[in-house]
Amino acid sequence: MTSRPTLIGMPYDASSSFLRGAALAPAVIREALRTPAGNPWAERVVQSVGAEVLLDAGDLTLPPTAEARSLIEHAVRGLAQEALPFIALGGDHSITYPILRGLRAGYRSLTILQIDAHPDLYDEFEGDRFSHACPFARIMEEGLADRLIQVGIRAMTGHGRDQAQRFGVEQIDMRAWADGARPSTAGHVYVSLDLDGLDPAYAPGVSHREPGGLSVREVLTLLDTLGGELIGADIVEFNPNQDIGGMTASVAAKLVKELASQIVVESD
């Protein structure tokens, strides 16, 4: 039976450390998905947009408080217990921690592929242990994933390096990527896709632009060649207030289409 992936919006940016605006992203991504300028078919020549193939659970109502984490975890736990694949539309990257708390309830083994300019492994950032700079520290210290693979890193600090070593994180920074290193995944795979992992030439609509990143085609090829079963994903850190001509919205919509088609093809 073919799985129908579910969109779920998580409009939360209260844990952003610099600019707010990521809470506006789910509505803008949905608008880009429905634009008459595009079409509902993915590159695999599989329809991946439309009510008949892509379910939409709407947006969670998330207050700018710690309660948001509990609400996200509860919503994802319900999906995981039914083994329903989903694509979460963030929101800042802090949403990934409660997502993984909910997701782990349904899966005993789990690999995370994180595409990002930053490792987001701070033990705390500006006094906040739940900042968008910290989610993967919380995830790894709680054992919510068996493997964490980070691709696209190019804004590392000494503390981030120490944390990566502490948690056994597998990193392919942009220098290693340029030298040909590529990740290998198997089993149940969750993709956490921070749009600042792409070079800002392709995705300017982010709060923390970091030059020297991945191209859209490189990210699509990486996703297309993943091993294992894609059980869920998030697309985070899109800040529509920083976008130029809808460029990043189009990229985010493209990524939704391709991720959704991968779920559909894998389950067919």
Rounded CA gap, 197 and 113, in Å?
Answer: 12
Whether 101 is in a domain gets the answer yes
Whether 245 is in a domain gets the answer yes
List the beta bridge partners of residue 238.
Answer: 206
Strands 147-153 and 111-115: parallel
At residue 78, φ and ψ (nearest 5 deg) are -60, -40
Number of structural domains (the chain) is: 1
Whether 13 is in a domain gets the answer yes
Q: Using one digit for the tens of pLDDT, what is the confidence trace for 97-125?
A: 999 999 998 898 999 999 999 999 999 99
pLDDT above 90: residue 45: no
The pLDDT confidence band at residue 18, using thresholds 50, 70 and 90, is confident
The pLDDT confidence band at residue 1, using thresholds 50, 70 and 90, is very low
Whether 78 is in a domain gets the answer yes
- Residue 89 has a CB neighbour count (10 Å cut-off) of 28
Whether 43 is in a domain gets the answer yes
pLDDT above 60: residue 246: yes
pLDDT above 70: residue 149: yes
Whether 138 is in a domain gets the answer yes
- Residue 63 has a CB neighbour count (10 Å cut-off) of 10
Upper half-sphere CA count for residue 164 (Cβ side, 13 Å)? 19
Cβ-in-10-Å burial (0-12, 13-18, 19+) of 180 comes to: exposed
Whether 162 is in a domain gets the answer yes
CATH code at position 173: 3.40.800.10
Global confidence as pTM: 0.96
Res 198: pLDDT: 98
Whether 1 is in a domain gets the answer no
Which range of residues forms the domain containing residue 224?
6-267
